[in-house]
């Protein structure tokens, strides 16, 4: 079901009957929250980018969610995602995440393999490196556009060391030679 590039919905409503939907696009509206999706328990993919989301409250009921795209919103924290155990892909770039505590729920998403945190305001490199290293399935990471990238010496090398399963970092593949150099470092 697609309600993107529409009339600028401010609320998610009148979707209660669509209980079997597996993918939903709500891009480019004026949504400030995700309430109204509680009957969509079969939802696997939710694209709700380019809105005005300030909270993900209400998303907890979407336990089957595999892909979540909330990029280009106003989010300052993402505590609600910790209940999304099937989540493999999270796009949360270009939001207002600044405190490391705002992304602490990420390692609790045990299936998370693709993570876009680009263009936020994350800066505490030691805590971020520690947090990223605890996301065991992480294979694709986008972190460019955060102050933390400039504050980490040998950024690519350190991220490669801390994220053992990483295969792509900021659109560039991590080659076997990169991994070898990271281990030697």
Residue 119's pLDDT is what? 98
| Alpha-carbon span 9 to 18, nearest angstrom | 17
Residue 134's pLDDT is what? 96
Residue 116's pLDDT is what? 99
| Alpha-carbon span 107 to 61, nearest angstrom | 19
From first to last of its 185 residues, the chain has per-residue pLDDT tens of 455 555 556 656 555 666 678 998 989 988 888 887 888 889 999 999 999 999 998 899 999 999 999 999 999 999 999 999 999 999 999 999 999 899 999 999 999 999 999 999 999 999 999 999 999 999 999 999 999 999 888 899 899 989 999 999 998 999 888 787 777 76
Residue 80's pLDDT is what? 94
117-151: burial string, b at 16+ Cβ within 10 Å, e else: bbbbebbbbebbbebbeebeebbbbbbebbebbee
| Alpha-carbon span 74 to 64, nearest angstrom | 24
Residue 76's pLDDT is what? 96
Q: Structure pTM?
A: 0.90
Residues 6+ apart with CB under 8 A from 184: none
Residue 171's pLDDT is what? 87
Helical pair 155-162 and 176-184, crossing angle rounded to 10 deg: 90
Question: What is the domain partition of the chain in residue ranges?
Answer: 23-184
State which fold the 23-184 domain adopts: 3.80.10
Residue 132's pLDDT is what? 96
């Amino acid at each position: 079901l697609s309600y993107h590039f529409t009339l600028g919905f401010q609320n998610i409503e009148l979707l209660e009957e669509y209980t079997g939907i597996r993918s939903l696009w709500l891009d480019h509206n004026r949504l400030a929250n995700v309430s109204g999706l509680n009957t969509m328990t079969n939802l696997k993919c939710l694209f709700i980018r380019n809105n005005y989301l300030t909270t993900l409250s209400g998303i907890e009921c979407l336990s089957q969610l595999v892909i979540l795209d909330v990029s280009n919103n106003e989010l300052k924290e993402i505590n609600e995602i910790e209940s999304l155990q099937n989540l493999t892909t999270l796009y949360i770039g270009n939001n207002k995440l600044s405190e490391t505590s705002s992304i602490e729920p990420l390692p609790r998403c045990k299936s998370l393999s693709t993570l876009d945190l680009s263009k936020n305001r994350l800066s505490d490199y030691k805590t971020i490196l520690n947090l990223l290293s605890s996301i065991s399935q992480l294979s694709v990471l986008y972190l460019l556009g955060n102050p933390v990238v400039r504050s980490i010496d040998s950024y690519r090398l350190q991220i490669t060391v801390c994220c053992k399963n990483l295969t792509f970092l900021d659109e560039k593949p991590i080659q076997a030679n990169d991994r070898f150099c990271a281990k030697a470092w």
